[in-house]
Amino acid sequence: MANYNGARVLTQTLAPNTTDLCLMSAAGEAVIVSNISGQAPIYFTVSHPGGSCPVPTVNGQNCFAVSSAGTRVSVRHDGMYGSVVQLISAASVQYTIEVGSRQVNV
């Protein structure tokens, strides 16, 4: 498992079948995950610091999915004290996490 810290935006590359744990410190009302390189879908969960952020699984039922290159998923999240995002993919995939405002659709 790789651990990363970011404030408002973080870009990293997932190792195949390995979970990344990302701590976003900026306050916000949404988390936006983008699949940059698109070799495979990205599966992710969102929580808050100290909360229970379930570990995502490839093709898992307990998580959100970003399907292909150039796509993104916005999740409303009360991240007053930051956000915890865990991600996994079956391939090496580059992703971006952004802390956003309440102007999202999901």
Residue 105 has pLDDT above 60, yes or no: no
* Token pair in block for residue 62: 């307990």
Report how far residue 81's alpha carbon sits from residue 56's, in angstroms, rounded to the nearest whole number: 22
Model confidence pLDDT, tens digit, residues 31-83: 999 999 988 999 999 999 988 888 999 998 889 999 999 999 999 988 889 99
Residue 106 has pLDDT above 50, yes or no: no
Dihedral pair phi/psi, residue 97, rounded to 5°? -115, 135
Report how far residue 17's alpha carbon sits from residue 85's, in angstroms, rounded to the nearest whole number: 16
Report how far residue 20's alpha carbon sits from residue 38's, in angstroms, rounded to the nearest whole number: 17
* Token pair in block for residue 26: 């900026």
Fold exhibited by the domain 2-100: Jelly Rolls (2.60.120)
Q: Global pTM?
A: 0.91
Residues 6+ apart with CB under 8 A from 50: none
